[in-house]
Amino acid sequence: MNIKYILFFIATCLILSCSDSNVVGLEVQPNSDIIEIFNAEVMSNQDSINLPPYSLSLSVSSEDSLRTDETSSLLLGKISKSYDPYFGDNVGEFITQIALSENNIDLGNNPIVDSVIFSYSYSGYYGDLSSINAIAVNYVDLNIHKDSVYYSNHQFSNSSSASEDLLLDFIISSDTSSSPTLKMTLDNSIGQQILDLGNSILLDNETFQENFGCFWLNESSLLGNSIIYLNPSGSNSNFTIYYHNSISDTLSLSFVVDGDAARINLFNDKPLANLSLDPNFSYIQSMAGFRTNIEIENLDNLRLDLAGKSINHASLNFNVTDLDTYSPHDKLFLVRENSEGSNVFLTDFTIEGDSHFRGVLNGDSFDFNISRYFHNLINDTSYSNKLILISSGGAINANRTIILNNSVKMQLIYSEL
């Protein structure tokens, strides 16, 4: 009986000893074996006698562009500077083809349009959905291609003509409905333009798209406070012409807006002048907005202090502020700048995986596991000390994040070899 109690006690101790810490041995790690690196602005306010010989430098820069052809969501809308004084205007618009849902269309004799409905399912939004009160839909005589690569700042070289705004009316159903939808009623003229192409042009999709251009959709109000996420593959995403001919008065011709339909999301340029820069904050924004750059300064001193030591764990941590109603990103990416100036993922992400790397919002904070990165940084003098925080899914969400600079730190836990 005593042996059973002893075995039970030992098993309980083993379970409890493994349940609390995310880093093995952290609870018994001497303070002298932990290095914390704060950003330089915070350290400048400390007693200079106690300053360590290394620090972090933070800066903000604009994203150049993002690839936005055939994304899973199309971002439509505007958040104007009047509502968001920190980041300034953020605009999403898109250009899209439509594609035949079947080949060998037979319109019958004398097809006449009754109505034209252009609709999209939507999967979410950013800002105040009720503020979307002006959308423009134009037909443009442009050719875009499904097998080409396009970016959010694409400039079309040909100045093709555009129609007048075709939109007659639109309704956005509640996001609490079973199938939230943006439903747009267009002028009959665009439907008749398609029907007048005739059966020979509606023979197959390739022939149709060679003879019919694209639609360009944008938020046309001067002020705006929402960007909606449209889903081209949604159950209610389609372009439908209702018409009659000499035989039947209840006919329809439907087109799809995914599949063989090329599409490009376009975002406005966001120079640093758009930002209301505050030395207490750093900024990250989706839709080719802004990124935060982190540089580890005085790296030679850090390498000297860590010579002959093994890095057991390294992390980057910071808090975000909740200054307004715009929610921060649910997830961020941390990348490094290589010797060619390109951004590459850290091996902590590519080798260890997403759950190990982290970078997910937890309350009001983010943390990244960067142990492999720091091992390479300390042992390879050609390795870059420049890290970059960017948005995750920056082409399919409109989020922005404001970082509290005085919370940014790196923590290194090491042991003697």
For every residue of 43-75, DSSP letters joined together read HTTS-GGG--S-EEEEEEEE----B-BT-SSEE
Give the number of C-alpha atoms closer than 13 A to the C-alpha of residue 144, restricted to the C-beta side. 26
Q: Record the tokens describing residue 133, joined without a space.
A: 């009160």
Which residue from 394, 402, 364 is spatially nearest to 87, judged by alpha carbons?
Answer: 402
Q: What pLDDT does 19 receive?
A: 35
CB 33 within 8 A of CB 23: no
User: Phi and psi at residue 40, in whole multiples of 5°?
Assistant: -60, -35
> 408 in helix, strand or coil?
coil
Per-residue pLDDT, 8 = 41
Give the chain's radius of gyration (CA, Å). 28
Q: Which two tokens stand for residue 125?
A: 């939004």
Any idea how long the chain is? 417
pLDDT at residue 359 in the model:
97
Phi, psi of 173 (to 5 degrees): -70, 160
Q: Is 109 left (phi over 0), alpha (psi -120 to 50) or beta?
A: beta
Q: What is the pLDDT along the chain (417 residues), one digit of tens a residue?
A: 455 444 444 444 433 333 333 444 444 445 448 888 888 765 555 554 455 678 999 999 999 899 999 999 999 999 999 999 899 999 999 999 999 999 999 999 999 999 999 999 999 999 999 999 999 999 999 999 999 999 999 998 655 678 899 999 999 999 888 899 999 999 999 999 999 999 999 999 999 999 999 999 999 888 899 999 999 999 999 999 999 999 999 999 999 999 999 999 999 999 999 998 899 999 999 999 999 999 999 898 899 888 888 889 999 999 999 756 799 999 999 999 888 888 999 999 999 999 999 999 999 999 999 999 999 999 888 888 999 999 999 999 999 999 999 999 999 999 887
In angstroms, the CA 287 to CA 265 distance is 9
Contact 106, 199 (CB under 8 A): yes
Map out the domains of the chain with their CATH numbers.
Answer: 20-63+273-416 (2.60.120), 74-267 (no CATH)
Compute, in degrees rounded to 10, the torsion defined by CA atoms 95, 99, 101, 104.
160
Long-range contacts of 145-148 (CB under 8 A, 24+ apart): 145/262, 146/70, 146/260, 146/261, 146/262, 148/69, 148/262
Cα 72 from chain centroid?
11
**Per-residue pLDDT at 54:** 84
Q: What is the pLDDT of residue 51?
A: 53
Please tell me the distance from the alpha carbon of residue 316 to that of residue 403, in angstroms, as a whole number: 13
**What pLDDT is recorded for position 183?**
98
Q: Against a cut of 0.85, is the pTM above it?
A: yes
- CA of 300: how far to CAs of 296, 341, 375, 381, in Å? 10, 21, 14, 9
Strands ordered across the beta sheet of 309-319: 34-38, 409-416, 309-319, 365-369
Task: For residue 285, give both structure tokens.
Answer: 């924004």
Measured CA distances, 156 to 20, 121, 316 (Å): 57, 28, 41
What does the pLDDT read at residue 342? 86
Beta strand ranges found along 70-204 (DSSP E): 74-79, 90-96, 99-100, 112-127, 135-140, 167-172, 181-186
